[in-house]
């Protein structure tokens, strides 16, 4: 996608839409074996050269273009990326539906020419001399393009087959989400990683033009290339309009980014962070209260205990059986005179226990902003300094407390307009935006040490409130409405530009970050377990939320069930866990979900089907109260327990290859 952006491709212009490759060549098998190279398309050739019989016809036609100047001769009269291609694929989604109708003079195109069969589309791209189109990013990210959710009347083919949803290959099991998941896995496979540079050479590199393009059978109409003609020098209006129309409608080749040499190959990662097998315990430190929250930065792990002790631990490389040693660095307690502590802090009810427990403090009562605009889990090895902030909520005064991580000095008490207590907070992965959920059934969005972002997204009403605020380092920019009962949990994803929030009555609301607009409200029916897009009635209260970058989120309810739901409100899978969870986390850049709760076991699930992959038993230390994933050379799963014990789970490169 980065190459598309650098080459001037954009989602805002269908004449220069981002282009992605066909990856797979198998659309007929019942199962898809991504380790078999035969299921993949040959990425060393353009689509038009994949079929040798068709290619021979095109070469013969090329040789017959004697009347054309040499620089205007071409193999392919059509293009792999054009407005027609984009609208062909996205016909079921507005505004592309209306654009398609406009392109076809006020009606849908002939049903036989519409996109209705994935396998048929691939076959056409391999046989037709006028069809050499590639794919677009939505084939790896957006399952909705395959579903006619708006019930558009797309017509009937000559074989009397009505056109509705796109027919998917058998290995997708009829599920657009499963197709997208497997298609994305194919894009990230070792085969594609080892060969994608060949396709980059064809689209963005040295094989795009000239003799190298002719040798690679990658030659398109000369008007599709950037700079092929100077429009301003054409004096004939008719000729000028004809050339402009051709450029606008028949496809434009991306800007050539690498004109002289091949793009280097990409080596696949040795470790995918999905296998977690080994475990060792960390030191208890000077506090035995439960670990309420875990955060990592570089080689430092921060544990925030329920008695408001902030403990830091250092990870050091080791040559022993375990690649890291785990040592305590500091353990200090926030000054209670500034804290407006909740009355829940007191002696643990367990006989003989000396731990203190704070029911008011949970994992989502704390967040850490490292350097203001630096992500909390960057893993860049930066040292902790006075710009790193600890944010916490759950106090009598209903404020968010902001402390310096280094000195523990209290910087700010933030209310943000909440009328009542603040129940939960969550910081975005880039460390720039904070979301809070309150007793007043509203969420607030805040920017942290980012004046430009605050000016860009703050709405007028909130801006008028901010004029009275003393602090300009952390400012409220949006008030999110839609709930009618107190907020229980929140999740935020800046990549998808969404906030998801859950409340006591079971409502789950989705909002846009930059505009603050309400998108939809969902709830899970208590009787049937179905996801319904409406205000909650007889729904089950939401306890935890996590968002995945693929466009889905995970919701844990108080009845012990776990649900994976798309942001568009479609239930993808669910599971009855038989326990209440206290924490869950999605491993970075993977589809692995880790949960921990009342049974004292950390369980690792595959996100797409919630199939249990592994269990880590730390039951001897009580409930699991917090989880975090630290990214080093290999991923470390950090588990915080009720008795203050910190455990580390490690996956070695050798284990992952098995």
Domains of the chain: residue spans and CATH: 2-249 (1.10.1540.10), 278-657 (2.130.10.10)
Distance CA 525, CA 538 (A): 7
For 431, which DSSP code? S
Q: Who contacts 89 (Cβ-Cβ below 8 Å, separation ≥6)?
A: 115, 135, 136, 138, 139, 145
* Residue that is written with structure tokens 């208590």 in the block: 526
Q: What's the pLDDT at 344? A: 39
Phi and psi dihedrals of 343, rounded to 5?
-70, -10
Among 207, 111, 279, CA closest to 617: 279
Q: What's the pLDDT at 108? A: 94
* Residue that is written with structure tokens 């731990």 in the block: 355
| Torsion region of 349: left, alpha or beta (phi above 0 gives left; psi -120 to 50 gives alpha) | alpha
Distance CA 268, CA 197 (A): 13
Distances (CA, A) of 421 to 336, 359, 398, 462: 18, 15, 4, 19
CB atoms within 10 A of CB 443: 30
Distance CA 593, CA 548 (A): 10
Among 357, 426, 440, CA closest to 393: 426
Strands lying side by side in the sheet with 624-631: 278-281, 646-650, 635-641, 624-631
CB atoms within 10 A of CB 147: 15
Residue 164: exposure state from Cβ atoms within 10 A (0-12, 13-18, ≥19): middle
Phi and psi dihedrals of 216, rounded to 5?
-90, 5
Distance CA 126, CA 48 (A): 7
Phi and psi dihedrals of 240, rounded to 5?
-65, -45
For the whole prediction, is pTM greater than 0.95? no
Whether the ω angle into residue 241 lies within 30 degrees of 0, i.e. cis, is no
Q: What's the pLDDT at 339? A: 59
Distance CA 385, CA 160 (A): 70
Distance CA 257, CA 461 (A): 45
Q: What's the pLDDT at 170? A: 96
Q: What's the pLDDT at 336? A: 61
Tokens of 94: 């507005």
Among 57, 26, 62, CA closest to 128: 57
Tokens of 626: 């917090």
Q: What's the pLDDT at 388? A: 80
Q: What's the pLDDT at 279? A: 41
Q: What's the pLDDT at 485? A: 92
Q: In sequence order, which ranges of 90-160 are alpha helices (DSSP H)?
A: 96-103, 118-127
| pLDDT beneath 50: ranges in the chain | 268-286, 342-359, 372-385, 652-658
């Amino acid at each position: 996608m980065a190459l598309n952006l650098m080459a001037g491709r954009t989602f805002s212009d269908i004449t220069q839409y981002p282009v992605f490759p066909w990856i797979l060549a198998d659309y007929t098998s019942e199962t898809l074996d991504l380790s078999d190279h035969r299921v993949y398309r040959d990425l060393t050739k353009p689509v038009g050269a994949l079929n040798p019989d068709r290619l021979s016809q095109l070469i013969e036609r090329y040789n017959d273009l004697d009347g054309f100047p040499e620089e205007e001769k071409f193999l392919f009269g059509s293009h792999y990326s054009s407005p027609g291609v984009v609208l062909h694929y996205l016909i079921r989604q507005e505004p592309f539906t209306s654009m398609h109708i406009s392109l076809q003079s006020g009606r849908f195109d002939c049903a036989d020419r519409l996109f209705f069969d994935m396998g048929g589309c691939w076959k056409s791209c391999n046989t037709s001399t006028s069809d050499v189109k590639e794919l677009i990013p939505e084939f790896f990210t957006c399952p909705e393009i395959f579903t006619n959710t708006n019930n558009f009347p797309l017509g009937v083919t000559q074989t009397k087959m009505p056109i509705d949803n796109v027919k998917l290959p058998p290995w997708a099991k009829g599920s657009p989400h499963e197709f997208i998941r497997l298609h994305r896995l194919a894009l990230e496979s070792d085969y594609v990683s080892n060969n994608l540079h060949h396709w980059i050479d064809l689209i963005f590199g040295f094989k795009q033009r000239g003799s190298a393009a002719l040798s690679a059978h990658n030659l398109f109409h000369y008007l599709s290339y950037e700079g092929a003609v100077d429009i301003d020098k054409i004096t004939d209006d008719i000729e000028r309009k004809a050339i402009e129309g051709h450029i606008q409608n028949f496809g434009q080749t991306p800007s050539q980014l690498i004109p002289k040499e091949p793009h280097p190959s990409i080596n696949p990662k040795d470790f995918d962070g999905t296998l977690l097998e080994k475990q060792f315990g960390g030191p208890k430190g000077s506090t035995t209260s439960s670990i309420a929250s875990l955060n990592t930065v570089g080689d430092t792990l921060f544990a925030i205990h329920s008695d408001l002790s902030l403990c830091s631990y250092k990870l050091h490389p080791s040559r022993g059986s375990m690649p890291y040693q785990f040592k305590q660095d500091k353990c200090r307690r926030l000054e209670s005179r500034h804290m407006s502590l909740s009355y829940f802090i007191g002696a643990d009810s367990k006989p003989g226990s000396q731990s203190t427990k704070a029911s008011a403090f949970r994992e989502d009562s704390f967040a850490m902003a490292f350097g203001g605009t630096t992500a909390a889990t960057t893993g860049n090895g930066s040292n902790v300094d006075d710009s790193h902030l600890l944010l916490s909520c759950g106090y009598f005064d209903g404020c968010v407390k902001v402390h310096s991580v280094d000195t523990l000095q209290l910087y700010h008490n933030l209310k943000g307009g909440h009328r009542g207590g603040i129940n939960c907070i969550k910081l975005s992965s880039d460390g720039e935006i904070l979301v809070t959920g309150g007793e007043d059934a509203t969420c607030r969005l805040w920017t942290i040490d980012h004046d430009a972002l605050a000016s860009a997204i703050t709405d007028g009403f909130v801006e008028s409130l901010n004029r009275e605020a003393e602090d300009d380092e952390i400012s409220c920019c949006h008030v999110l409405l839609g709930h009618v009962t107190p907020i229980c949990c929140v999740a935020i994803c800046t990549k998808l530009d969404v906030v998801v929030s859950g409340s006591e009555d079971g409502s789950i609301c989705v909002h846009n970050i930059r505009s603050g607009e309400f998108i939809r409200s969902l709830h899970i029916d208590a009787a049937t377990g179905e996801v319904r897009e409406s205000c909650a009635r007889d729904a089950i209260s939401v306890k935890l939320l996590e968002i995945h970058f693929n466009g889905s989120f995970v919701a844990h309810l108080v009845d012990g069930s776990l649900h994976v739901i798309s942001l568009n409100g479609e239930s993808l899978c669910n599971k009855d866990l038989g326990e209440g969870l206290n924490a869950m986390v999605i491993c970075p850049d993977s589809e692995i979900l880790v949960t921990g709760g009342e049974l004292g076991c950390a369980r690792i699930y595959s996100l797409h089907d919630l199939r249990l992959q592994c269990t880590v038993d730390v039951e001897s230390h009580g409930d699991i109260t917090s989880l975090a994933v630290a990214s080093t050379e290999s991923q470390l799963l950090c588990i915080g327990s009720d008795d203050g014990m910190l455990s580390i789970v490690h996956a070695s490169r050798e284990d992952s290859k098995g």
